[in-house]
Amino acid sequence: MKLELLLKLNRTIRVIGFDDAPFIRGSKENVNLAGIICAQTRFEGMVWGQIQQDGFDSTDTICNLLIGGKFLPQLHIVLLDGIGFGGLNFVNLPELCARLQIPCVAVMRRKPDLTAMLEPINRLPYPEKRLELLRSAGTIYEFPPFVFQVCGEHPSVTASVLQRLTDCGKVPEALRLAHLIGAAVIKGESGSSA
């Protein structure tokens, strides 16, 4: 069912939110990735995977965690904590949307400084490929308190959905839980900011 219709009928929206767990930069170790499934703001399930630090496998990893699994047929939308995981392992947002066949949204706490990102990108292999992944994510929309990029849905509908998926504050609950659980698994306790 389309998100706009779910909103109009006041139906439950099922979401998965992905965030990377804490990692040591430059260690070359794989980075853990938590995916938390919620019915609106109620926790319903979880997937767990690993990506390469500063690699190019985040899109494939997310798809592998969902395609063929029990959760994807239930989901209406995918939320990402930004476009990059494990450092500068950028998700190909249009490809993710096409492969999963549901809207995909990269949610940010604030509008990113893309100019400041050029220096770390240029220090890594294949900077042109990384920049193309950034560009392909599309326009950054600001619907206070939300800042996001979206593929597969209209920005205004997306903003309304994000509001529905947020219990309090500026972070949808699935992303907040992914952040807290990822930190707890790696550090033994969750952090204070989510």
pLDDT tens-digit profile of 5-36? 999 999 999 999 999 999 999 888 999 999 99
pTM of the model: 0.96
Per-residue model confidence (pLDDT) at position 194: 59
| Separation of alpha carbons 184 and 10, rounded Å | 33
Task: State yes or no: pLDDT of 70 exceeds 70.
Answer: yes
| Separation of alpha carbons 165 and 5, rounded Å | 15
Assigned token pair, 32 = 């853990």
| Separation of alpha carbons 18 and 49, rounded Å | 10
Q: Which residue has the higher pLDDT, 188 or 43?
A: 43
What is the arithmetic mean of pLDDT over 119-132?
A: 96
Assigned token pair, 183 = 């930190």
State the helix-helix crossing angle for 58-66 and 93-100, rounded to 10 degrees: 20
Contact between residue 71 and residue 103 where contact means Cβ atoms under 8 Å apart: no
What is the arithmetic mean of pLDDT over 162-182?
A: 95
- Which domains are delineated in the chain? 3-186 (3.30.2170.10)
